[in-house]
Structure 1
């Protein structure tokens, strides 16, 4: 069956699915948070900054436990979502995507924040003086100039989602075919005698995905720097 067996392919497919939806869900919220931090001054801005970066410093197991308390079936949010929308996160792949989104969120916001900060505000002001409303200035000036950084943030978030383990296994456990992502599968094969071959294959795939994401993010960051005249 080649480099990967059936169980490994299943874990890879689930990881890609989880990472895709985690990135997609996070992207608009991360962009809004980054724009607020880069452009607005308001009471509570410091608290927003702390909340955005908190998953970076909290132990992943703590983050997963907090997600379980909040979005579990008996949690205040999870119970309401199940009762009114039929949406369940605990011990489902959707919960794995939520955990991955939370853990990757700070990386996405940081990259987008730096990119928005790099946009020359004089260009935005010039567009506004010509009569463009704020939403048009954002869509036609700010967003195109910040787009490489936004894409870089999305790639970093995707890579983080592919590698997320601690919060995911705490929140949704390690269920083959449902919540067993690449890191969880690696952990499982490490506990099995003779599982070294599967571990090596999965590690190689994980490293390859992470390298591609990081190289892509770096290339796009350089594109941003060249655009604003900060790099040769």
Structure 2
């Protein structure tokens, strides 16, 4: 299995491709049939700093260690891959650091509840449906947490289908997870647009033949998709 470092090294040898919103000033609706959305930081806010402040107020001294032991750890990736539950991750995340165990447990058992909707992303999803496009979700997400958020937010009723890392045991930017979506929904690659907050994930999609938008600043989607205020 290729590691993320392997994938990054491979992409350095590939020619750089232009983002869809660099090629076009406004969304050319006639050129796209399918729009694929990431969840974290596209539809729902994912901010480790905000989660720690909300769940562990007054424990700021622990935040740097928790960032690395929890959110940037390989165990988080294994949760995304569906190989470990949040409950199972508590022990290895706090191993050798008993002073972190209670904080890690609090984060692991409650982080899924504190996700703010990104209005711009959801408005873009709604606009795509209004324009008659198929709308899909492709996200690195723990399968238990994903099952929860599907019951919490009403925008899921607009989604035509999804591919979730925790269910497929594959994570972006592995090309294999993009191929799952391609085959499952029989999409035409060059007429499929992916929106993600990770440049690496967008590059992977584009090298699979998709179009891509790296969503990294507020207002970016509103301008490109001509969303009304």
Pairwise same-fold verdict (TM > 0.5): no
- Which structure's CA Rg is the greater one? 1
What is the TM-score with the length of structure 2 in the denominator?
0.29
Q: Which has the higher strand share?
A: 2
Q: Which has the higher helix share?
A: 1
